[in-house]
Chain A
Amino acid sequence: SQTIHQWPATLVQPVGSPLSLECTVEGTSNPNLYWYRQAAGRGLQLLFYSVGIGQISSEVPQNLSASRPQDRQFILSSKKLLLSDSGFYLCAWTARDRVSYEQYFGPGTRLTVT
């Protein structure tokens, strides 16, 4: 069966510090991968998605970036965090050949920028 991991689970970082969040998927090959952010009391906002190694599409212009160095690894980064970057960051995957397109989420990283 497929599993998706994210770490760290919780992170408190000062404004201006760098960020690196990691997501890995097990039990599947060639998945589509997604990064979402959920701010307190808000809906999920799609940040990036990737259909393959090195292929990243950005949905929202901001000070975040994403990379996919391996097939089942997806990384979210920032060089300098802003207060507005606080939120719940979720990684999700879907099978490329699945017609119904449902996505499965990792446990998330709760980021507080102070």
Chain B
Amino acid sequence: RKEVEQDPGPFNVPEGATVAFNCTYSNSASQSFFWYRQDCRKEPKLLMSVYSSGNEDGRFTAQLNRASQYISLLIRDSKLSDSATYLCVVNWGYGGATNKLIFGTGTLLAVQP
């Protein structure tokens, strides 16, 4: 099983649509979870952290299910500017000084006009 697994897509959706991405992780000891956004030929940028209780930031909602080792990202009212690759990211092990993050290969979102 891959350490972090995502559907690669692409997800082609019209403007205004709601789209959901899922991610599973294999290490039950992981403590921190994130979604990053990566535009074509650019560096990844932190979109949001994922908290156990679920969290929302504007049109974006992240959910964590520790029992199923599953993370999700919901985007409402999609904009053309949301087109990017979304990376699911999980910290590895028990934290501490090394703070290694494992990145999924990403899900490509293309929002169509």
* Contact of A102 with B41 at beta-carbon distance under 8 Å, contacts A32-B98, A43-B106, A44-B103 already known: no
**Pick the contact of B98 from A44, A51, A105 — CB < 8 Å?**
A51
Give the contact stretch, choosing among A14-22, A62-70, A75-83, A93-101: A93-101
A95 to chain B, nearest CB (A): 9
B-contact bits for A31-64, CB 8 A (1 contact / 0 none): 0100000000011101001010000010000000
Bound: A45/B3 CA distance, A:
12
Contact in complex: A107, B46 (CB < 8 Å): no
Residues of A within 8 A of B32 (CB): 100-102
Interface size grouping (class) on chain B: 20 to 34
Contact in complex: B99, A94 (CB < 8 Å): yes
Scan residues 38-57 of chain B and give those whose CB is less than 8 A from a CB of chain A. Answer: 41-46, 49
Interface size grouping (class) on chain A: 20 to 34
Bound: A96/B96 CA distance, A:
9
A39 to chain B, nearest CB (A): 11
* Contact of A42 with B100 at beta-carbon distance under 8 Å, contacts A90-B43, A108-B43 already known: no
| Chain A residues within CB distance 8 Å of chain B | 32, 42-44, 46, 49, 51, 57, 88, 90, 94, 96, 100-108, 110
In the complex, 24 of the A-B residue pairs with CB atoms within 8 angstroms, ordered by the A residue number, are A32-B98, A32-B99, A42-B105, A43-B87, A43-B103, A43-B105, A44-B44, A44-B87, A44-B103, A46-B101, A51-B98, A90-B44, A100-B32, A101-B32, A101-B91, A101-B101, A102-B32, A102-B46, A103-B46, A103-B101, A105-B43, A105-B44, A106-B43, A108-B43
| Chain B residues within CB distance 8 Å of chain A | 31-32, 34, 41-46, 49, 87, 91, 95, 97-101, 103-106
